[in-house]
Structure 1
Amino acid sequence: MSAPLEVDQTLPTQTYPVRRADLVRYAGASGDFNPIHWSDRIATAVGLPGVIAHGMFTMALAARAVATWTEQAEVVELGCKFTAPIVVPDDDAGVIVEIAGRVAKRDGDLVTIALEVTCGGSKVLGMPKAVVRA
């Protein structure tokens, strides 16, 4: 890390596009081929507004933001609640997921980063946080 993380420091918002092709790639990597992540017909049949991103894919985007901010510091904890789905349209644009962060606490070499993960202005993860060794 180039500069130490200070309590109350706001970290630059990271933005990531999410497209259907990303969901297909994630399904292949994770083995999660649930059709709610690729079929509008199945997703709407089970009451969803459309195809949704995998929750763990969304959490991985948060981890990617943490890695960017901390220049690959050791992540010792990453957690959240899955509170709202990210609906991914069947087009070339997809949606944008934004991840904001604020250094909430420092205890020795452990730094807690409070995250805010949104899509279209709505929070999609509840109580997301990361603890890194910095």
Structure 2
Amino acid sequence: MSAIAYDDVTVGQQILEEVITLRRVDLLRYCGACSDFTGTHWNERIAKSVGLPDVISHGTLNIAVATRMVSDWLDDPAAVLGYEVTRFSHPLVVPDDDEGGHLIVRAVVEGKGEDRSAVIRITAKTPDGKQVMGGARVTVRLA
């Protein structure tokens, strides 16, 4: 069960804001983990040939790192009941350098259920303010 008590969480409360850094090696590991070796996720030449500025992160990797932040906050991955994203709005570019790509993730309590659940709304933006995914929510069970 989650280490966060139901009564200690209020609707509208920001529970976290963090900058996540993804580097090319992270993308390559994810390619292997999910068996998605689409060239736009690892090859700069292919990414640019289809009009992208550089290699981009998988949308599913972006939601995975955001959801992991919520499970870390809960101190219990099993307290995550589900998640959803309605759209991936803007790609997260990951250049081949020491800086990588940055995803600014913010999580706010959107609602609470009588069953001790809560819906956490996730926003994820690039450093220049472009929204990376829309309609992102994580449903969790609180203590």
> What is the TM-score of this pair, normalised by structure 2?
0.87
CA RMSD of aligned residues (A): 1.3
Question: Per-residue deviation at 1:45?
Answer: 0.8
Aligned partners of 1:42 and 1:24: how far apart in 2? Answer: 15
> What is the TM-score of this pair, normalised by structure 1?
0.93
Percent identity reads 37
1:52 to 49, 56, 68: 56
1:67 to 68, 71, 79: 71
Partner of 1:42: 46
Aligned partners of 1:70 and 1:115: how far apart in 2? Answer: 15
| 2:94 maps to 1:116 | no
- Give the gaps of 5 or more residues in structure 1: none
Partner of 2:108: 102
- Give the gaps of 5 or more residues in structure 2: none
SS at match of 2:11: coil
Partner of 2:18: 14
Partner of 1:91: 97
Aligned length: 134
Partner of 1:77: 82
Aligned partners of 2:130 and 2:16: how far apart in 1? Answer: 18
SS at match of 2:91: coil
SS at match of 1:43: helix
Question: Per-residue deviation at 1:26?
Answer: 0.7
Aligned partners of 2:32 and 2:54: how far apart in 1? Answer: 20
Question: Per-residue deviation at 1:5?
Answer: 2.2
SS at match of 2:10: coil
Partner of 1:130: 138
Runs of 4+ in 1 over 3 A off after TM superposition: none
